Structure 1
């Protein structure tokens, strides 16, 4: 670890390990390195450069995450980056600590969520997504595993390794390339067409469906089968599962999981127009 990192933070126990590195709890040693009262706990994510392959995508992810997180911070529903350090072997990111179960683990352990709880989580998620889009950022990998919760139960959207900065308005660039997780990727991504920020709205719609049903809307035994189901976008609401789900929630899902991206709701529209129907 860099001397600067060890000078600023006490590195504590390991709390997670992934494909490219390890996450440890850490504590600030200097007042200047201390987080705000809104984020009292910290972790350091140490990315092993040697584990990142030389291909363009992995190298891009390594460089993109700290840049995008710095651009977007602070926001109450985004994982905040406090500092970044680099040495010859690792990139170290000091982040908010979220040690509660992520949304995937919460649904896996407890089953489908009551509609009011799903609506509350969706509202926080869409505030995070709308903030990203206002700053010209497309997340591209929204899924329950990347939806974390802090010690106060507040949602924090994480993992910006696949994100892209495309700008906004008429200056927004179009994206290409299959990026994301099969169950959550939008049809235009699978089809190889140019796409924009509304791929995040599709992914958030899948997340809402998973919260209400306990399983994704487009399924298959392999990635190829899942992609085929996504392209067909045949959205169904099995009565056994959706019996207690409101018509407003189903309408919202239809408009978020609209195959035609030009007719799909934007993140701001989900917040300003439709979400109140679910919460009411």
Structure 2
């Protein structure tokens, strides 16, 4: 890893590490602004699918450029053995860390303050024909100002390029993956709505809606899709929030809400406040 990339960016300390590369803090030599440099070792990409993802992610980030709740790509540098992406620096705790640190639950107003920009960013992706396909708390980042940034589009796909608007392939993460992905059938962008619904459930209840002792058991629970609201966990959760969860974590994809429908739901529109429809008129 070079300490300076093309005389443009000064590489600093390591701030993250993944399967195929390392994320560093870096600084623009011209402006002094802080960014992150995601450096991927291409020699570790023996699987053709992984190589395809490597080429696809920068292109997708360019298409999604301009949305304040999606990590932006600023520059791309390619060497023989490495690919370096200069992206937004998100050096605050990610959503996974925030959930783990609480060892408890979010109030509804706290949950909606995270959920609203998240589902808005997902809706933006879907309008441009892109599905993220790995929405989970680890990929929900925050910058130093507290702005939410959806990240890691390595598993994303252009469903808009398919006449039927469908995709195939088992991608995603246990707990958050939609049942139709695991079933091996074709699926559409609503897989992201399911994953966002799991995140919302966890923020309100402190536990995932579908889980098991092993990944295989978890997948079985997801495939069953038996959504429950244990009284002990949901005693203080509003009927509006539970209604939204039912419509997001709906196994019947034709009845599952789209991201746009989620954004128009009463619970989101009112900022998590429990009001009757009469109060809104």
- TM bucket normalised to smaller: over 0.9
After superposition, where does 1:165-184 map in structure 2 within 5 Å?
A: 165-167=158-160, 171-184=163-176
Q: Which residue of structure 1 aligns with residue 28 of structure 2?
A: 28
Shift in Å, 1:276: 2.1
**C-alpha contact 2:166 2:187 (8 A) present in aligned 1:** yes
Q: SS in structure 1 opposite 2:233?
A: helix
Shift in Å, 1:279: 2.1
After superposition, where does 1:1-280 map in structure 2 within 5 Å?
A: 1=1, 5-31=5-31, 41-53=34-46, 55-110=47-102, 111-167=104-160, 171-274=163-266, 275-276=268-269, 279-280=272-273
| Residues 215-224 or 253-262, more deviating | 215-224
> Structure 1: 5+ residue runs without aligned partners?
35-39
1:111-159 Cα offsets, whole Å, 9 max, x none, are 2111111111110001100010011000000000000011111110000
Q: SS in structure 2 opposite 1:61?
A: helix
> Structure 2: 5+ residue runs without aligned partners?
274-281
**C-alpha contact 1:187 1:230 (8 A) present in aligned 2:** yes
Return the alpha-carbon distance in structure 2 between the equivalents of residues 172 and 65 of structure 1: 23
1:62-105 Cα offsets, whole Å, 9 max, x none, are 11111111110121100111011100010000011111111111
**C-alpha contact 1:138 1:164 (8 A) present in aligned 2:** yes
**C-alpha contact 2:179 2:223 (8 A) present in aligned 1:** yes
How many residue pairs match? The answer is 271
Return the alpha-carbon distance in structure 1 between the equivalents of residues 74 and 36 of structure 2: 10
Return the alpha-carbon distance in structure 2 between the equivalents of residues 59 and 98 of structure 1: 25
**C-alpha contact 2:61 2:153 (8 A) present in aligned 1:** yes
Shift in Å, 1:4: 8.3
Q: What's the TM-score once normalised by structure 1's chain length? A: 0.92
**C-alpha contact 2:4 2:10 (8 A) present in aligned 1:** no
Q: SS in structure 2 opposite 1:244?
A: coil
Q: SS in structure 2 opposite 1:182?
A: coil
Q: Which residue of structure 2 aligns with residue 37 of structure 1?
A: none
Return the alpha-carbon distance in structure 1 between the equivalents of residues 264 and 186 of structure 2: 27
**C-alpha contact 1:249 1:278 (8 A) present in aligned 2:** no
Shift in Å, 1:260: 0.5
Shift in Å, 1:278: 5.6
**C-alpha contact 2:2 2:11 (8 A) present in aligned 1:** no
